[in-house]
Amino acid sequence: MKMKRSMKIVLPLLCMCFVTVCTVCAQDTKDKEPESQIEKDIQTAKDLIKQPLAGYAGLSFTTGNPQHGSFQEFSENNSFGFGLKGGYYFNPLPLTVGMNVDFLFFGGETKRLPRTVMGLTVNDTIETSTTMVPILFHTRFQPQITHFLFPYIEVSGGASIYSSNSELRPYGNSRISNSETDIIWMYGIGAGLQFRLVDFVELPSSHSALLLDIYARYLFGEQQSLSKAKIIDDKSEFVSSSVKTDILSIGIGVSWMF
């Protein structure tokens, strides 16, 4: 009888212990599954970041500084604008090919040209607006020094669309307008440095990166006949001169690699 009573007490206790152990084990397995999946996702993301990226596109703020005295005289000011670029990176080869287009604005300017009429000094007025759009193809040697650092040197070539609109208002006479658009062939050399700012990963297979791009480019332009208003024999008129159109371009922007 005592044995039966003991079994009646022990069996329910054993059952309760078994159920408790099973519940704890099941809960522990559930907790480990998400942990294991998170670790797998982290490793997948790390592997994606290590994979090379091929395409790139970018936007930059850029300046254009005429390099020869005659071109500086015609342009009056340095130019400011923005640039667009895109291309392909032959990773793991440190070689890229691409294209960039800059939109440079020398700004509008109003200038007075003093001259003498019958012993009196009068002012003629000239208003000028000038733009320049270099369209260049480039090839770069661009090694990846670390995961974050991409220095490069480049050679480029193409053409620039030079456009100038001027209006001369001589004192006491009617206005004279002069507009010219020229194609200037150019080639150049340049260097730059790209810093990887952040990687974007979208599991299971998408990866891209954002980079800071700082560069300088010297463009050799051909001799070009350009017009400018000058005072000749106490008369204001447009005069054409042959100008060497070299320009130094410096810019900073961002590149998107994908």
Distances in Å between the Cα of 233 and the Cα atoms of 172, 223, 228, 250 are 16, 27, 16, 40
Return the CATH architecture of domain 53-257: Beta Barrel (2.40)
pLDDT above 70 covers what percent of the chain? 84
Q: Is the pLDDT at 18 greater than 60, yes or no?
A: no
Above 60 in pLDDT, residue 20? no
Q: Does the pLDDT of residue 14 top 70, yes or no?
A: no
- Does residue 86 sit in helix, strand or coil? strand
- Residue 171 DSSP class: T
Mean pLDDT across the chain: 84
pLDDT at position 22 over 80: no
- Average pLDDT of the segment spanning 64-73: 84
pLDDT at 48: 84
pTM above 0.95, yes or no: no
pLDDT band at 157 (very low <50, low <70, confident <90, very high): very high
Q: How far is CA 62 from the centre of its chain?
A: 9
pLDDT digits (tens, 9 = 90+) for 217-248: 999 999 988 877 766 666 667 778 889 999 99
Residues 6+ apart with CB under 8 A from 248: 64, 65, 67, 216, 217, 218, 219
How far is residue 27's CA from residue 77's CA, in Å, rounded to a whole number?
74
pLDDT in tens, 75-129: 778 899 999 999 999 988 999 999 999 999 987 777 777 877 777 888 888 888 8
Judge contact between 228 and 242, C-beta under 8 A. Answer: no
pLDDT band at 19; cut points 50, 70, 90? very low
